Amino acid sequence: MFVTSKYLGATNYCGGTSKQGNVAQMIATANVSETVERREYLRRIVAVTSMLGRQGLPFRGHDESEDSPNRGNFLACMELLKEFDPFLQKHNPPSNAQYISPTSQNDMIDCCAQEVTSVIVSEMTKSKARDEKAEQLAVCVRYVSEGAVKERFLALAEIKSFDAQSIANEIQQQIQNYGLAELKCVAQTYDGAAVMSGSTGGVQAHFRRLHPEAIYVHCYAHQLNLVLCNTCKAVPEAVELFSLLECVYSFFSTSLVNHHKFMETQAKLGLTKTELVQLSNTRWACQLRSVSAVLETLPAILECLSAIGSPIAVGLRAKLYKFSAVYALLMFQSILSVTEGLHKFLQKVTLDLAEAFICKQAVCDTLKGKHSDAFATELYEKTKALCNTHSIPEPGAKTRHKQRKMEDFVLEATVGSSTELNNSDTLKRELLFPCVDQMVGELDQRFCSVDAGLLKGIQACSPKSENFLSEPHLNELAKHYRLDLKKEEVLVARNFLTRKTEAGCPPKNMLSVYNLLDSDMFPSLKATIQVALMVPVSSCSCERSFSALRRLHSWLRQTMGQKRLHSLAVMSIEKDTVLEPEQGEPSWNKPFWWGVIYTFVVKVLRLNQVLYAFYIFSSVSHKQQILSKK
């Protein structure tokens, strides 16, 4: 063994001895108490770093000098910890080994992010397959590990160009960076943007050239939102209603005077204080919340508009004070309530494609039931009762209007042909039935991005499907992913699951079937079901990651670099992987903290690998465990 002078310098620092010798002799003569102190000190730095990262809080202050009143959250937490921690009160590290500088903070953040990512990569490597999802620069992965379906945030990448080829190349680069290139990619999921979903020049087309098995799934949650948006735009009366709701929201939200008067009117009428909801094409299910808010506060809106008396207020009240407007509000509240549960259901991480398709069909069947005279009559009577409560005249009733000059009033209708909604049949024919038919047609048309044969194969893995364990359909799915499905395994699995059902333990969903099947007895069938489980339903994990980024990359933190932003995003989004330290002497059953400390020492001090472990860990067994992991 050759020992250089640089190596000896590192040895002198760690062991506190000037004697030359082999590594074993240096370790034997090292100061154990100093090792324990270094370990305990770094444990506290890791704890503060992990806490701030999990909560998405900023680390630094504008001025971190000794006399600054606000030195930032990291230094403030260290000072607070020192007030109650006897160890920190006694510990006096040298000025060059305090590890609280901005550079050391960045290194520790990066080490925590690396440890989180290593856990995700380790789980994915054991599962042997994955699916890819990208939304702009966020890359998330879906896999099956330890009998559970998981979706994890993998990386936040910065790309120079936003064309499809550049985005696909960046996704592939992230896969290679984390050592996942050898795993089979099952599927890819994006929203409906043309650059992502294009069948010939989109990201999904470029990505499939690299991974031919990776089928494209148009995010079901985005598709459902498009169904509602298109329904609201396709029927003229619906367009007019939601335009009116947006005007009412703007009237009461842009003026503090009008908003205060609106709140006071609700209190005076004994209503629960409710805020109006702004409409948006990207906020899922906001249409229902907007309609419900207007219906709940309708008495306060009408009275408040009458009291204000401005030209805009008079015009808005005239449009709301109509039987047809109330009818449309109640109608949309009813049909949008049918899809509300599906909105939430499609955002579940554990949801599989077969179950999502079944729930979508159930929603379609429910909506078709509303295309009936019975429901139209029920809706008309409900509207009539509500209008009588607020003295809104029924269509066809004759009312006297005093002739008045039209100055200072807004125009209620424009020139052009339009159907007058003045009776039950007209409301049913021109408003209710067109909206229901449009919504059902959109649901049938949009939720079909996956090949029909593959969809049948995925459904054959679900016990809720009519073709459960159908051999032809399973073979088509297995053939696409180059799996050698054994016919005998399918036959035995049918009998096995039948006996489980008779014993009172029937499989409830696809995941329970996967967990019931033994990997030694049903290797090919279980691999086929695993593939079906990993086909994603939505890209909601990417959407959630960008919600976290809005908290992390605020206007007060605009100077943050891409690497630091990525590391903080990993810690904040995957906070369940950043484990809490134990009280007293930590347990080796939770290696996350020691992995972070080890990586930090390797990254910062750049010592010889054998001495890294000794620098932090005094016990020989501890050192052996860490070295075996690294």
Contact criterion met (CB below 8 Å) for 486 and 502: no
More confident residue, 117 or 398: 117
With 0-12 CB in 10 A as exposed, 13-18 as middle and 19+ as buried, what is 117?
buried
- pLDDT tops 60 at residue 580: no
Query: Using the 8-state DSSP alphabet, how is residue 430 labeled?
Result: I
Whole-number mean pLDDT of the chain?
80
Q: Residue range 408-415: average pLDDT?
A: 50
Average pLDDT over residues 352-361: 91
Write out pLDDT tens, residues 115-160: 888 888 888 777 665 555 544 478 888 999 888 999 888 888 877 7
* Interstrand relation of 184-190 and 215-218 (parallel, antiparallel or unpaired): parallel
- The SS3 of residue 471 is helix
Span 379-394, pLDDT tens digits? 999 999 999 988 888 7
pLDDT at residue 398 greater than cutoff 80: no
Q: Is pLDDT of 5 > 50?
A: no
Residue 418: the pLDDT is 52
**Length of the chain measured in residues:** 630
Instruction: Give the C-alpha separation, 320 to 301, whole Å.
Output: 9
SS3 604: helix
CB 144 within 8 A of CB 530: yes
Mean pLDDT score, 68-85: 87
* pLDDT for 182: 84
Q: Report residue 602 as tokens.
A: 């390797």
- The pLDDT, as a whole number, for residue 350 is 87
For the segment 401-418, the average pLDDT, to the nearest whole number, is 50
Task: Decide: residue 57, CB within 10 A, 0-12 exposed, 13-18 middle, 19+ buried.
Answer: middle
Q: What is the pLDDT of residue 474?
A: 94
271 pLDDT above the threshold of 50: yes
| Cβ burial, residue 323 (10 Å; 0-12/13-18/19+) | buried
Output the pLDDT for position 23: 55
CA distance 255 to 524: 65
Predicted pLDDT at 530: 93
Residue 381 CB partners (closer than 8 Å, separation 6+):
none
Q: What is the reported pLDDT for 193?
A: 82
Min mean pLDDT across 320-329, 357-366, 385-394, 442-451 is at 442-451
**Between 585 and 7, the higher pLDDT residue:** 585
Q: In terms of pLDDT, which residue wins out, 286 or 606?
A: 286
pLDDT of residue 332: 92
The string of pLDDT tens digits covering residues 6-56 is 323 333 333 344 444 555 555 545 566 777 788 888 888 888 988 888 888
Residue 179 has a pLDDT of 86
pLDDT in tens, 507-544: 999 999 999 999 999 999 999 999 999 999 988 888 88
Q: Can you give the pLDDT at residue 582?
A: 47
Report strand pairing: 138-145 vs 129-135.
antiparallel
Kindly tell me the sign of the dihedral angle through the C-alpha atoms of 447, 450, 456, 460. negative
pLDDT for 251 beyond 90: yes
More confident residue, 120 or 460: 460
pLDDT on residue 591: 61
What is the average pLDDT across 284-292? 83
CA neighbours closer than 13 Å in the CB half-sphere of residue 42: 26
Percent of the chain with pLDDT over 70: 81
Does the pLDDT value for residue 280 go beyond 60? yes
pLDDT higher than threshold 50 for residue 111:
yes
Cα separations in angstroms, 421 against 242, 394, 395, 432, 484: 17, 11, 8, 11, 62
The span from the CA of 562 to the CA of 157, in Å, is 8
Give residue-wise pLDDT tens across range 290-320: 999 999 999 999 999 999 989 999 999 999 9
pLDDT score, position 18: 44
Encode burial over 1-30: b for 16+ CB neighbours within 10 A, e otherwise: eeeeeeeeebbeebbeeeeeeebeebbeeb
Q: What is the 3-state secondary structure (H, E, C) of 60-88?
A: CCCCCCCCCCCCCHHHHHHHHHHHHCHHH
d(CA 202, CA 167): 9
Which residues, other chains included, contact 196 with Cβ-Cβ below 8 Å and sequence gap of 6+? Answer: 134, 164, 167, 190, 202, 203, 204
Q: Are 186 and 211 in contact (CB under 8 A)?
A: no
pLDDT at site 15 = 39
Q: Which of the listed ranges 237-241, 459-463, 623-627 does the model predict with the highest average pLDDT?
A: 459-463
Structure pTM?
0.75
